[in-house]
Amino acid sequence: MKLSFHGHSVVKIETNGKTILIDPFIKGNDLCDLDAGKVKADVILLTHGHNDHVGDTIDIAKRNDALVVAPFELATYLGWQGLNTHPMHIGGAHEFDFGRIKLTQAFHGSAYTDDEKQEIIYTGMPSGILFFAEGKTIYHAGDTALYSDMKLLEKYRIDVAFLPIGDNFTMGPDDAAVAADWIGAKKVVPMHYNTFPVIEQNPKSFAEALGNDTGHVMKPGDEVEV
């Protein structure tokens, strides 16, 4: 399995002959190295409906005829836009031909904002994602605050965890460090930082604070084999 990071919360997984994108916020994301008009995807996984996570989902999914997996209300909304969707919800899991997905809690909001119409479209509850394939477990926390039930994730023996550290909208570095300790992942990659001034952080300091070679900073475009 190959993992790559592409700025903000954009993660790509290549496994079982499929390319999977998580939260493909590309246009408007100055840290992203991908081209929204050219990127390939068989599957798109979404944690919640905020614009900086849904991102370029509609265009990418239509161009690639990709399956979009998302929390129920968000999947329903995107289905109305003509996308092929698979709705899920927190605590539920499903076996796909590319791997198994289970949605976890995330303490945050979830709504798609249409600035032109000045409308906010409710898109259900936010989630994190547990992804299982090739005997490995990947955790993408989405946008979340620290919450005590994160301790329950330790049982999944997570190989790589992507945790937000930006603060203001999500956990900051201190809370993310606590989360990293609770979930016990072998590797922890910081995400959701430095895209905007209000979430500027030092990922290196966060990674070093975790100790035991747990923290792993990935620059946009960096890849790792799991």
Domain for residue 56, yes or no? yes
pLDDT tens digit sequence for 64-109: 999 999 999 999 999 999 999 999 999 999 999 999 999 999 999 9
Q: Which structural domain range is residue 63 located in?
A: 2-218
Q: How confident is the model at residue 192 (pLDDT cuts 50, 70, 90)?
A: very high
Our count of domains for the chain comes to 1
CA 164 → CA 10, 33, 80, distances in Å?
A: 11, 19, 30
**Is 223 part of a structural domain of the chain?**
no
Candidates 138, 192, 115; CA nearest to 2 is 138
Question: Within a domain: residue 118?
Answer: yes
SS3 letters across 56-103: CHHHHHHHHCCEEEEEHHHHHHHHHCCCEEEEECCCCEEEECCEEEEE
Q: Are 123 and 111 in contact (CB under 8 A)?
A: yes
Whether the predicted pLDDT of 212 surpasses 90: no
- Predicted confidence at residue 14, as pLDDT, reads 98
**Pair 5, 222: CB distance under 8 Å:** yes
User: How many helices and strands in the chain, by DSSP H and E?
Assistant: 5, 15
What's the CATH code of the domain at 103?
Answer: 3.60.15.10
159 occurs within a structural domain: yes
Residues in the chain: 226
pLDDT at 211 over 90: no
Alpha helices in the chain (DSSP H): 51-54, 57-64, 72-80, 173-183, 203-210
SS3 of residue 209 by DSSP? helix
Q: What's CA 77's distance to the chain center, in Å?
A: 19
The predicted-structure confidence for 115-126, as pLDDT tens digits, reads as follows 999 999 999 999
Would residue 224 count as lying in a domain?
Answer: no
Say if 226 falls within a structural domain.
Answer: no
37 domain-assigned:
yes
- The CA distance from 161 to 179, in Å, is 10
The enclosing H or E element of 132 equals strand 127-133
> Residue 3: is it exposed, middle or buried by C-beta count within 10 angstroms (0-12/13-18/19+)?
buried
Query: 99 near 69, Cβ under 8 Å?
Result: no
Q: Is residue 64 part of a domain?
A: yes
Model pTM score: 0.97
Average pLDDT over residues 45-58: 98
